[in-house]
Structure 1
Amino acid sequence: MRHSPGSRHGTVRRPTVVGRRSVPRRDAASWYPPFALCADALGVFGPVLAVYSVRSETEPLAAATVATLCWLAIRAGHRRYLARTLGESRGLIATLHDWLILLGLLAGLRALTGERSAIASALIGLLPALAVTGTTCVLIHRHLTGRRHQAQALRRVLVVGEAGPVDVVAAQLAARTDHAYVVVGTVLAGPGEPACGIPQLGRLDAAGPAFPPAVPDLIPEGLDGPTVLAAARGKDADLVLVVPGSLLTGERLRRLTWAVQDAGLSFALASGLTEVALRRLSVSTAAGLNLLHIAPPLRRGAQPAVKSVLDRAVAGLALTVLAPLLVLLALAVRLDSPGPVLYRQTRIGHRGVPFTLWKFRTMVADAELRRPDLESANEHVAGPLFKMRRDPRVTRLGRLLRRTSLDELPQLFNVVRGQMSLVGPRPPLPEEVARYGAVELRRLGVKPGLTGPWQVSGRSDLSWDEGLALDLFYTDNWSVTGDLDVLARTLRAVVDGRGAY
């Protein structure tokens, strides 16, 4: 099962036989664009007009109108109102990006026109746009996600390719519900039978159709086009997804594209590349070949430097602000059960370097000595982790600290010392790393984090494979803006408490 960062693990969409009535088209609600447009307009116009009127600034109506038009133009220019993109993500980082552009644009207009209103008035009036637009994006995203969990708002997909690759693609699409695609049928190229249980609607000859010399009156799709189109129409598919392989490439693939698109259907290729963030991909052409370029993960440069500075600055500020709470928690741990206040444990950090991790103690003092007796009750039997939902070694206060994640606060000292980051993979134990293979070791390519995709996606409720997939995706695809998104979602995960034990 494939997963990516964030709380994107919906109910599993099984790759079973799907009928026409059970899977409607992706009718991304028609009210999404006008709702988002109106919310954006009101989120700027109302606050700016109110603030400028209350503070007796000149021309409040004109200022509110210009700010609103600029905001809508920026959002529209970035294609935020397209029905096919609305709701596909929470859009919080995109909203912040657009808002900063709005500030720059209005500052430029202010300089050009000589407008003299107070800067504080403009900032106060524009701040609500962040909250209104951000909330709107989240509401639409949740609405769309909820519909997909109920098998609604989907696109009917016909998968074309060889049996093995078709099985892989169908299983991957069925494993998650955070996308619009549901497979309704397959057309196989060459021998073999699919094991996914999705109906086979046709078969393409392994040798491929013979393409005679170009003649204007010839049908360009050969024999493949009619077979694929008949299958697509029979299942009312609106997207043909082709998995290229040794039997589907070159001229044959090109003519199949012509046939599908000339019939008014959407056409897409599955590259076989997984777990790579979209921002790392770019396309170029050379000698008629379309080349897909993959940018390397961020390991050096400006973003890692910014991440390091932000980590230490925010952790230092948090320690200062939370100092009274830390003292109270330390006192509570001391009074709750005998033993030290802080629990020290050796963990493996960036590039395999060990360090001492600090936490408030949540277990009895001899917890490690009791662990061998509990190995048979380990709920993570498929991996190196040890987790029990009702671990008898956890103290009364410890259960509360774990549920609220307050036991993790001393790790802010690890962040200040540069041993950890605010966001990153879970820091593993030495005995866990000793069982790692080449794939698992890749998660040590970045600093471990105080929070991360694992923590905001279910924590201990996730299997080892699910948590590993999230950590690997983060390791290869992290960015500063992505870290900000994880930090914003961490609060919700802490309040929810799901998977914390």
Structure 2
Amino acid sequence: MWWGAMTIEVTHEPIDVERRRPERRRRPWDRKYRTVLLVADGLVAVVAALLIHGAYGRWAVALVLPPTWIVIMLVHRSYDRGALGLGTEEYRRVLRGAVALPALAAVAHLLFTRDAALLHDMTMAALPVVAMGLAVRCALRRRLHRRWARGQGRSSTLLVGPARDVLELVAVVRRGGAQELQVTGVCLTDPENATLIRQAGLPVLGGVGDMNDVVGALGIGTVVVFPAPELDASALRRMSWTAAAQGVDFLLAPVLFDVCAARLAVRPAGGVPLVRVQAPNLSRAARLPKELLDRSFAAVLLLLLALPMLLVALVVRLDSTGPALFRQPRVGRYGDHFTMLKFRTMRPDSEALRAELAPLNQNSDGLLFKVKKDPRITRVGSVLRRSSLDELPQLLNVVRGHMSLVGPRPPLPEEVEEYSPDIKRRLLVKPGLTGLWQVSGRSDLPWDEAVRLDLGYVDNWSTSLDLSILLRTGSAVVRGTGAY
């Protein structure tokens, strides 16, 4: 069999299934990451114990806390292969451990020790140990992702399935930044579409029947299979056996790519494992904490930034004629209209000149209107846009309840009139000062990608997602990608 200039010889040796066990092809970074994390957790517990000892002068917690914390992390599966390097899931398991630590201390106090001082110290130790544990995981995860970005420690991956699904997953993975999976090649169920795969820069290594040979010849560590009419239950079962025999991870890609893992759960029915997709939780009760946090945090920011915002307004007025603030009708949650505020970055006659600049629109594939080096932008306006300082007056919109700190981009009324029913799902949540669209490339993104990100935010909203977007906003502003 020939793939390019490479010849692969396939031998068919009998396998003694009772005596021969497959040697799992570990992820290159797996064992070292797990070891470093285990040692770091031990050191974190020691430091936390010493802090408590320094505060209360008792040595018992220094002896008990380190092994207890390691056991709790093992029980909560913090070192499981499936959670390492994932960020949110790692952090969630550490937080569960922080809750378990005082609970376990209370049980030990009631049943065994009757030592109130030890119970107090173990309870007080929960805060520093979880804070340092989360910081360690964040640092290790960033270091791991930097290595992946350099092409180090990634898992050689074979994709098996239809060309269209392969291309969609590859596009999503590439947009997601540094990833563990490094696509080595593709085995197609529809080889007639091989040209599309090659145009995407991926080698086509054969069909479904060639998977076993490709895995053995190229040292594949992970196989990702896409559902297809050609792959029935029997075929998928045999493919999983083949992967298991060679010690390879076997992953079945979901039909829905934009559903976060937290919304997926396996529900057995008559011995059949069905995947449950949980509906997005957009109720008032679920969003009340976000509402309170948005308004209170925006109010604090307005107080802190009042003087700088006055200075920006003064500079805008001195730079060009017209008001300091730009007011524009936008559409909020459930289609309600509101007046959005920004520092003015364009000439007063900018709307009249828009028709003349239509041929220069960078987003001609959708409803957005963006022009690089827009001649309507003032000198100060270009600086404000690159630094995103023009968005600061929207803190007033957040305080008034029209907007949120994190959410989809606030659309214009004429844009909403062109929305399809699917796109109108963006209006189920408040628009935001920042969002997935803003931290993923802003105006450089095509319209369909901006829509995909906004719909993904609506469907997968959570407090942790909001926090991650807020943390990414700073670096996005510094880079200035897509800000024009």
Give the Cα separation in 2 of the matches to 1:281 and 1:175.
22
CA 1:65–1:117: 2 relative to 1, 3 Å:
closer
Give the Cα separation in 2 of the matches to 1:306 and 1:159.
41
Quick one: which amino acid aligns to residue 150 of structure 1? R
1:273 aligns to 2:256 (yes or no): yes
Give the Cα separation in 1 of the matches to 2:102 and 2:115.
15
Moved more, 102-111 or 347-356: 102-111
**In structure 2, the residue corresponding to 1:368 is in which secondary structure?**
helix
Tell me how far 1:352 sits from its aligned partner.
1.9
Quick one: which amino acid aligns to residue 72 of structure 1? I
- Map of 2:57 onto structure 1: 58
Moved more, 44-53 or 440-449: 44-53
Higher relative contact order (CA 8 A, sep 6+): 1
Moved more, 125-134 or 346-355: 125-134
* Structure 1 unmatched runs, 5+: 1-15, 205-223
- Map of 2:78 onto structure 1: 80
Tell me how far 1:500 sits from its aligned partner.
2.7
Moved more, 474-483 or 189-198: 189-198
CA 1:388–1:52: 2 relative to 1, 3 Å:
farther
**In structure 2, the residue corresponding to 1:264 is in which secondary structure?**
coil
CA 1:467–1:239: 2 relative to 1, 3 Å:
same
**In structure 2, the residue corresponding to 1:293 is in which secondary structure?**
strand
Q: Equivalences for 1:173-188 in 2 at 5 Å? A: 177-188=177-188
Q: Which of 225, 230, 237 does residue 213 from structure 2 map onto?
A: 230
1:342-369 deviation per Cα after TM superposition (whole angstroms, max 9, x unaligned): 2111011112221111122233333323
Give the Cα separation in 2 of the matches to 1:134 and 1:431.
45
- Map of 1:46 onto structure 2: 47
CA 1:190–1:277: 2 relative to 1, 3 Å:
closer
| Identity of matched residues, % | 40
Give the Cα separation in 2 of the matches to 1:269 and 1:46.
42
- Map of 1:150 onto structure 2: 150
Moved more, 278-287 or 324-333: 324-333
CA 1:348–1:91: 2 relative to 1, 3 Å:
same
Q: Which of 438, 443, 453 does residue 470 from structure 1 map onto?
A: 453
Checking the alignment, whether the CA contact within 8 Å between 1:52 and 1:121 is kept in structure 2 is no
- Map of 1:243 onto structure 2: 226
Select the structure that is richer in helix.
Answer: 2
- Map of 2:385 onto structure 1: 402
Checking the alignment, whether the CA contact within 8 Å between 2:52 and 2:121 is kept in structure 1 is no
Tell me how far 1:92 sits from its aligned partner.
8.3
- Map of 1:160 onto structure 2: 160
Tell me how far 1:479 sits from its aligned partner.
0.8
Checking the alignment, whether the CA contact within 8 Å between 2:332 and 2:403 is kept in structure 1 is yes
- Map of 2:404 onto structure 1: 421
Q: Equivalences for 1:88-167 in 2 at 5 Å? A: 88-89=86-87, 94=92, 97-98=95-96, 100-101=98-99, 104-105=102-103, 108=106, 112=110, 113-116=114-117, 129=129, 132-162=132-162, 165-166=165-166
Checking the alignment, whether the CA contact within 8 Å between 1:70 and 1:102 is kept in structure 2 is no
Checking the alignment, whether the CA contact within 8 Å between 1:160 and 1:186 is kept in structure 2 is yes
Q: Which of 418, 427, 432 does residue 435 from structure 1 map onto?
A: 418
Give the Cα separation in 2 of the matches to 1:73 and 1:451.
40
Moved more, 422-431 or 240-249: 240-249
Tell me how far 1:425 sits from its aligned partner.
0.5
Give the Cα separation in 1 of the matches to 2:82 and 2:313.
51
Give the Cα separation in 2 of the matches to 1:306 and 1:90.
19
Give the Cα separation in 1 of the matches to 2:443 and 2:320.
25
Checking the alignment, whether the CA contact within 8 Å between 2:76 and 2:97 is kept in structure 1 is no
Give the Cα separation in 1 of the matches to 2:145 and 2:183.
18
CA 1:268–1:344: 2 relative to 1, 3 Å:
same
Q: Which of 311, 318, 335 does residue 352 from structure 1 map onto?
A: 335
- Map of 2:20 onto structure 1: none
Checking the alignment, whether the CA contact within 8 Å between 1:93 and 1:481 is kept in structure 2 is no
Tell me how far 1:340 sits from its aligned partner.
1.6
* Structure 2 unmatched runs, 5+: 8-24
CA 1:67–1:246: 2 relative to 1, 3 Å:
same
Question: For the aligned residues, what is the CA RMSD?
Answer: 3.6
- Map of 2:38 onto structure 1: 37
Give the Cα separation in 1 of the matches to 2:330 and 2:5.
47
Give the Cα separation in 1 of the matches to 2:318 and 2:96.
50
Moved more, 192-201 or 166-175: 166-175
Tell me how far 1:51 sits from its aligned partner.
5.8
- Map of 1:309 onto structure 2: 292
- Map of 1:27 onto structure 2: 28
Tell me the TM-score normalized by structure 2.
0.81
